[in-house]
Amino acid sequence: MGIFDVSIKEKIKIKNTKKEFLEFFKKQLTKEKEYETSIQTNSIEIKKVHLNTLLKYNTIIDIQKASGENELIINAQLHDTLVLTILIILAILLTYGIGVIFVAGYAYLQKKKAKLFLEKLVKDYETIN
């Protein structure tokens, strides 16, 4: 896990089947756009998805059975690391290092925004179903 990656782990009650649960998340994350997705029986992986952010994340949503309850594990890894690296190098060269603070702050705020978006999706699922 990188410093700008999102990780959420919580217990959840699935009222429908796991497939319907994963389809709900796929529909909410992709928003009718075409992303590379792969669905297994207990997990879904969506690559290069915008989690209500400008940066892209490779997102894995996994459901595991833990002590009789379902445990939801969401891992979103930042995909745009090359862009951030180039921006950091330019910030060092052009602003004598001061611009690195802005680039790192921007990436951190995008991480927080993505985490809030994913937590809101989990809450929405719990209230809808």
Domain boundaries, the chain: 6-128
Architecture (CATH level 2) of domain 6-128: 2-Layer Sandwich (3.30)
| Residues 75-101: tens digit of each pLDDT | 999 998 898 899 999 999 999 889 999
Distance separating alpha carbons of residues 122 and 63, to the nearest angstrom: 13
Task: Please report, for residues 19, 31, 42, 76, 86, the alpha-carbon distance to residue 51 in angstroms, rounded to integers and kept in the order given.
Answer: 21, 10, 21, 9, 22
Average pLDDT on 33-59 reads 88
User: Where residue 103 falls among pLDDT bands split at 50, 70, 90?
Assistant: very high
Q: What is the pTM of this model?
A: 0.85
